[in-house]
Amino acid sequence: MRLTMIALAAVTAAAALAPAAGHATTLSPIQEGRRAWLKYNCYGCHGANGAGGMGPNIQHQEAGDVSSAMNGDAKEGGMISFTGIATSTDAKNIAAYLGSIGTKNEPTWVDWWNPVP
């Protein structure tokens, strides 16, 4: 009896970790970009949706510029380098996100750790 209850608890915990049924489990590059944007705290300097803050407005920034800034090109101006922290895919996704700002595809959720926004 006791063993059955432990086994049942394990099954329940596994079910709770699985993504909710009926939701897409893969995110689009725009959504992944929003997630990376939040996760790497880009918004802390560039504003919640890239409109600018301590750092410049970078909405609709070209992918190449996002990548070079993330790799240390904006260091002299006060931006940290993300070399070894973020991947080139992160940079591409972030560029996709920045390009979506102001369109109907712009994601606005704020909890990057949610498996399904």
Chain contacts with ligand HEC (rule: CB under 6 A) = 40-42, 44-46, 54-56, 58, 61, 65-66, 69-70, 74, 76-80, 82, 86, 94
Provide CB contacts within 8 A for 93, sequence distance 6+: 29, 30, 32, 33, 35, 36
Q: Which candidate, 100, 102, 96, 110, places its Cα nearest to that of 32?
A: 96
Instruction: Supply the minimum distance, in Å, between the C-beta of residue 82 and ligand HEC.
Output: 5
Of 54 and 116, CB closest to ligand HEC = 54
97 in Cβ contact with 30 (< 8 Å): yes
Of 7 and 41, CB closest to ligand HEC = 41
Of 45 and 51, CB closest to ligand HEC = 45
Of 18 and 111, CB closest to ligand HEC = 111
Instruction: Supply the minimum distance, in Å, between the C-beta of residue 26 and ligand HEC.
Output: 22
- Give the span between the Cα atoms of 114 and 50, in whole angstroms: 21
Give CA separation, 13 vs 17, 92, 117, in Å: 7, 35, 21
Instruction: Supply the minimum distance, in Å, between the C-beta of residue 62 and ligand HEC.
Output: 8
Instruction: Supply the minimum distance, in Å, between the C-beta of residue 40 and ligand HEC.
Output: 4
Q: Which residue is nearest to ligand HEC (CB)?
A: 77
- Give the span between the Cα atoms of 43 and 107, in whole angstroms: 14
